[in-house]
Amino acid sequence: MADELLAKALAAISRKDRTEAEMRAWLAAREAGPEEIDQVIDYLVENLALDDRRFAFGYTSDKRQLAGWGRDRIRENLLRRGIDRYLVEEALNQSAQGGEEVETEVDRAVRVLGEKGADLSDDRGRQRALGLLARRGYDAEEAYAAIRIAGRAA
């Protein structure tokens, strides 16, 4: 394994957290051979610099809390980034630690509508809210429920 290639890979991970699949593509783009790629990836995984499980859980938490994304959008993005389906589902189904109350998808969608100041007083406003929630990855049933709840609270 070339020490220079490993150093570049470590520097790349320090700038941006990556999945194993993304790191493989990154190394291949730098014309590393398959054996070199495997060696670098094995080293990074063994030394906990590269961890798809940690990435999936962190990404899911960040996108739920900071961006207000729904399960569908998070799932789609994690799968596209090369995370195994079982890890994606595990991250999406993670339970709250320490006895905290778990926020449901509908609760998150209501929060998103509140943060965006959605006007739900007429059909046009409700359609815009539905579009917003669909883009964020909420399924139609969850979006309609959130719009009803937010509309009653307004």
For residue 98, pLDDT beyond 50 = no
Angle, CA 94 vertex, CA 77 and CA 47 arms, to 5°: 75
Average pLDDT over residues 17-22: 96
For residue 101, pLDDT beyond 80 = no
Whether 32 contacts 57, CB under 8 Å: no
25-56 per-position pLDDT tens digit:
999 999 999 999 999 999 999 999 999 999 99
What local confidence, expressed as pLDDT, does residue 99 receive?
A: 37
Residues with Cβ < 8 Å from 36, sequence gap 6 or more? 1, 2, 5, 27
| Of residues 84 and 68, more confidently modeled | 84
**Please, which pLDDT band fits residue 123 given cuts at 50, 70 and 90?**
very high
Average pLDDT over residues 92-100: 56
| Of residues 68 and 24, more confidently modeled | 24
Domain 52-92 maps to which CATH number in 1.10.10, 1.10.150, 1.20.1540, 1.10.1740? 1.10.10
